């Protein structure tokens, strides 16, 4: 568009905008008359297209998501052009954080996209209240109007997609992240169903504070970054934009800490899914459909979740057999039975269907993370590649892991004279990073006592390691004695007979028979 073109376009858009303002104060009859005749003629020659985005839409008059996204986009990109802005607090109920500036009524801003100009205005829709008072009321619904030249019509789709994607990105980066958990909630009839509730997620763990071998950490970070920026790649290869992580290892090795670090690194919300609180596969599907893009769906201790649902079913069946339910008052017709609310009927196939099928229909990136202390107990179908793409073992503390913890907790690195002893002991016994971390907690935070604190903590850790080493040695000795005894002890029904220094294992019955005979 040339300079003249821009000037002309801007003037016409401004004229239209002024007309839109003025028309709000016309008597109703005149307004309708205008619409019927003049508008038709005017529109024929008018070279511009107008698109309106209402604040409220749909049957229940919910606030339109597109309206909110446009507001965010305009606040970030064009609000500096406007002279009058509206400030509103941003955040959840009771937890406001920061202000959002948006265009005030009748303000106009221009946006450039792909060589074309787009004009945005914010206006208030007149309602009964505002007609009476002549001024728009605070509660009146607003709308954004987008104006563009007819010759740029082909850009409408891509421009609106750009506004939506950019607006969403800004929303995600400026929001407070949330930790969702599913809890049972009862309806009027007493039926319990799992629903998400959330709190602000403020876990301070990062990949810097996470103790693990540097090479492994780098690899995970690369994988996460590749995933985050892989939208086009996933589309190209025809795969849903999702990735599964399986974190396994003994308790206290940092599985939950790593999930928090992942969420912080990617800037994602966390949905902590408690499978035992989900009644059946239908409820599971419903919960998962409600998750939003850019989220990490976590199922902790997946081995226990599956077991528990089986055990619960068994227990209820046992109770019914014992006739315990007969002692309870009869259920009113239509009311849920107690066990209906308690049993989780989520099945492995339900979970697999969700991982494979459901995700395909949900847009936006999602990571699913399973954790377990017993990887060997899991059904191979659940953790095969493609479902759980990356398997990460978090294990006992090695010297590299210890160095990260020592740096985090005490601010010291490998130069310390006690490090060598720790290194040797870590090579000889098993201790979890959680136990090491506990030993490295300084007794005070005063910088004057830092050196003394460090010495005390490291000595305490060495003592703990030596104790573990000693206990492990005793245990190993006991185990080897048990093994020898087991080796020496004949199997049940057999006896050991010693003749001239030779040991022979014989059938017990034959020995008894002989002895009885004697």
Ligand X SMILES: Nc1ncnc2c1ncn2[C@@H]1O[C@H](COP(=O)(O)OP(=O)(O)OP(=O)(O)O)[C@@H](O)[C@H]1O
**Ranges within 271-300 binding ligand X (CB under 6 A):** none
Shortest distance, position 276 Cβ to ligand X, whole Å: 16
Percentage helix, strand, coil for the chain under 3-state DSSP, each rounded to 5: 50, 20, 30
- Asked whether 65 and 164 are in contact (CB, 8 A), the reply is no
454 binds ligand X (CB under 6 A): no
Binding segment (CB under 6 A) for ligand X, from list 348-356, 381-389, 430-438, 447-455 = 430-438
253 binds ligand X (CB under 6 A): yes
Shortest distance, position 433 Cβ to ligand X, whole Å: 3
Size of the site for ligand X (CB under 6 A): 14
210 binds ligand X (CB under 6 A): yes
Q: How far apart are CA 29 and CA 31, in angstroms?
A: 5
SS3 category, 102: strand
254 binds ligand X (CB under 6 A): yes
- Which of 251, 357, 411, 470 lies at the binding interface for ligand X (CB under 6 A)? 251
102 binds ligand X (CB under 6 A): no
Backbone dihedral region for residue 38 (phi beyond 0: left; psi -120 to 50: alpha; all else: beta):
alpha
Q: Which is nearer to ligand X, 167 or 433 (CB)?
A: 433
Length in residues, the chain: 518
420-452 burial by CB neighbour count: b if 16+ within 10 A, else e?
Answer: eebeebbeebebbbebbbebbebeeeeeeeeee
Q: Which is nearer to ligand X, 413 or 503 (CB)?
A: 413
Q: Which is nearer to ligand X, 14 or 373 (CB)?
A: 373
Binding segment (CB under 6 A) for ligand X, from list 52-60, 137-145, 252-260, 500-508 = 252-260
- CA torsion 366-372-375-379 (nearest 10°) is -60
Q: Which is nearer to ligand X, 16 or 262 (CB)?
A: 262
CA atoms within 13 A on the CB side of 140: 20
Shortest distance, position 372 Cβ to ligand X, whole Å: 8
- CA torsion 429-435-440-442 (nearest 10°) is -150
Binding segment (CB under 6 A) for ligand X, from list 24-32, 113-121, 149-157, 431-439 = 431-439
Q: How far apart are CA 452 and CA 395, in angstroms?
A: 30
Q: Which is nearer to ligand X, 216 or 228 (CB)?
A: 216
Q: Which is nearer to ligand X, 145 or 253 (CB)?
A: 253
Shortest distance, position 252 Cβ to ligand X, whole Å: 5
- Which of 13, 388, 425, 437 lies at the binding interface for ligand X (CB under 6 A)? 437
142 binds ligand X (CB under 6 A): no
Please state the separation of Cα 421 from the chain's center in Å.
Answer: 40
Q: Shortest CA distance to 140 belongs to which of 82, 57, 55, 59?
A: 55
x/- track of binding to ligand X for residues 458-477 (CB under 6 A):
--------------------
Q: How far apart are CA 515 and CA 497, in angstroms?
A: 13
Shortest distance, position 288 Cβ to ligand X, whole Å: 22
- Which of 141, 167, 252, 350 lies at the binding interface for ligand X (CB under 6 A)? 252
Q: Which is nearer to ligand X, 350 or 433 (CB)?
A: 433
257 binds ligand X (CB under 6 A): yes
Parallel, antiparallel or unpaired: strands 178-186 and 242-248: unpaired
x/- track of binding to ligand X for residues 344-373 (CB under 6 A):
-----------------------------x
Strand segments, DSSP code E, in 218-377 are: 242-248, 269-272, 295-299, 366-372
x/- track of binding to ligand X for residues 170-209 (CB under 6 A):
----------------------------------------
Shortest distance, position 406 Cβ to ligand X, whole Å: 11
Largest pairwise CA distance in the chain: 129
Q: Which residue is nearest to ligand X (CB)?
A: 254
Q: How far apart are CA 488 and CA 506, in angstroms?
A: 13
398 binds ligand X (CB under 6 A): no
- Asked whether 248 and 375 are in contact (CB, 8 A), the reply is yes
- Which of 126, 181, 256, 395 lies at the binding interface for ligand X (CB under 6 A)? 256
Q: Shortest CA distance to 277 belongs to which of 355, 351, 367, 345?
A: 345
305 binds ligand X (CB under 6 A): no
- Which of 212, 351, 368, 410 lies at the binding interface for ligand X (CB under 6 A)? 212
Q: How far apart are CA 356 and CA 375, in angstroms?
A: 21
Q: Which is nearer to ligand X, 24 or 373 (CB)?
A: 373
Strand segments, DSSP code E, in 412-501 are: 494-499
- Give the footprint of ligand X on this chain (CB under 6 A): 210-212, 251-257, 373, 433-434, 437
């Amino acid at each position: 568009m040339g300079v003249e073109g821009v000037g002309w376009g801007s003037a016409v858009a401004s004229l239209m905008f002024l007309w839109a303002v003025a028309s709000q104060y016309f008597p109703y009859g005149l307004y309708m008359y205008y619409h019927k005749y003049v508008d038709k003629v005017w529109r024929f020659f008018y070279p511009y297209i107008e698109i309106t985005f209402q604040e409220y839409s749909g049957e229940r008059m919910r606030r339109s998501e597109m309206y909110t996204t446009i507001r965010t986009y305009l606040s970030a990109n064009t609000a500096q052009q406007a002279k009058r802005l509206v400030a509103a607090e941003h955040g959840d109920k009771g937890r406001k954080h920061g202000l959002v500036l948006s265009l005030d009524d009748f303000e106009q801003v221009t946006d450039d996209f792909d060589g074309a100009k787009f004009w945005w205005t914010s206006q208030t829709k007149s309602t009964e209240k505002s007609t009476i008072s002549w001024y728009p009321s605070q509660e009146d619904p607003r709308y954004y109007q987008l104006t563009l030249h007819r010759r740029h019509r082909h850009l409408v789709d891509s421009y609106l997609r750009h506004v939506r994607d950019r607006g969403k990105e800004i929303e995600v980066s400026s929001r407070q992240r949330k930790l969702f958990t599913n809890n049972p909630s009862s309806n009027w009839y007493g039926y319990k169903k799992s629903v998400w509730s959330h709190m602000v997620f403020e876990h301070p763990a990062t990949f810097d504070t996470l103790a693990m071998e540097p090479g492994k950490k780098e690899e995970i970070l690369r994988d996460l970054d590749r995933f985050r920026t892989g939208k086009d790649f996933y589309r190209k290869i025809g795969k849903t934009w999702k990735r599964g992580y399986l974190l396994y290892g003994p308790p206290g090795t940092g599985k939950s800490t790593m999930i928090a670090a992942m969420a912080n690194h990617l800037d994602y919300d966390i949905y902590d899914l408690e499978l035992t609180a989900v009644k059946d596969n239908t409820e599971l599907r419903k919960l998962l459909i409600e998750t939003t893009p850019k989220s990490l769906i976590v199922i902790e201790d997946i081995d226990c979740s599956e077991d528990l649902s089986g055990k619960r079913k068994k227990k209820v069946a046992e109770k019914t057999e014992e006739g315990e339910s007969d002692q309870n008052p009869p259920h009113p017709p239509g009311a849920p039975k107690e066990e209906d609310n308690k049993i989780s009927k989520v099945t492995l196939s339900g979970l697999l269907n969700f991982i494979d099928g459901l995700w395909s229909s949900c847009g936006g990136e999602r990571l699913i993370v399973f954790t377990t202390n017993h990887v060997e107990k899991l059904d191979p179908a659940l953790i095969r590649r493609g479902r759980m793409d990356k398997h990460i073992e978090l294990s006992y503390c090695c010297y590299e892991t210890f160095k990260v913890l020592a740096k985090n907790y005490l601010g010291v690195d490998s130069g310390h004279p006690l490090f060598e002893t720790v290194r040797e002991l870590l090579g000889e016994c098993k201790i979890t990073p959680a136990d090491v971390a506990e030993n490295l907690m300084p007794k005070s935070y005063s910088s004057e006592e830092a050196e003394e604190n460090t010495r005390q903590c490291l000595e305490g850790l060495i003592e703990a390691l030596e104790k573990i080493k000693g206990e492990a040695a005793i245990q190993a000795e006991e185990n080897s004695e048990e093994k020898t005894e087991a080796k020496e002890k004949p199997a049940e029904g057999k006896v050991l007979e010693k003749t001239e220094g030779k040991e022979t294992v014989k059938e017990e019955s034959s020995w008894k028979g002989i002895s009885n005979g004697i």
